[in-house]
Amino acid sequence: MNPHRTTAFAIRKRDAIFEVLGAKCAACGVAKNLEFDVIVPQAEPKSHHANFSFAQRMIFYCRQLSAGNLQVLCSACNSRKHRGCTRFITPLIGRQPSHRNTAPQPF
């Protein structure tokens, strides 16, 4: 596959994910140095998806997104999470209306 086309494909995927999740950190709200974060780490070792190409990574993230298992974190919050700060784990599961079966309740 043409590498330029692959990159354009991956950038479109990335932008589509930002559109769904919002282009700001889910923990602190800043809008720069953003990274995708798999909320509940998958069974495969972390190094596994670190070796993916950009396009492969975006496909992986899209799959996590449709499972409701992806969030946007800034690099500071992301590295805090990976140092074991549990408040970044699973804060957002179920917040997407499309993943809910119940209608919003009136106040």
Which residues lie near Zn ion (CB under 5 A)?
Answer: 25, 27-28, 74, 77
Q: Which is nearer to Zn ion, 10 or 71 (CB)?
A: 71
Name the minimum Å distance from CB 21 to Zn ion.
13
Query: Mutual orientation of helices 3-21 and 54-66 as an angle, nearest 10°?
Result: 30
Name the minimum Å distance from CB 91 to Zn ion.
12
Q: Which is nearer to Zn ion, 21 or 25 (CB)?
A: 25
Q: What is the DSSP letter of 87?
A: G
Q: Which is nearer to Zn ion, 39 or 55 (CB)?
A: 39
Residue 30's identity, in one-letter code, is: V
The residues facing 34 across adjacent strands are 74
Paired tokens of 72: 């946007």
Name the minimum Å distance from CB 78 to Zn ion.
8
Paired tokens of 74: 């800034």
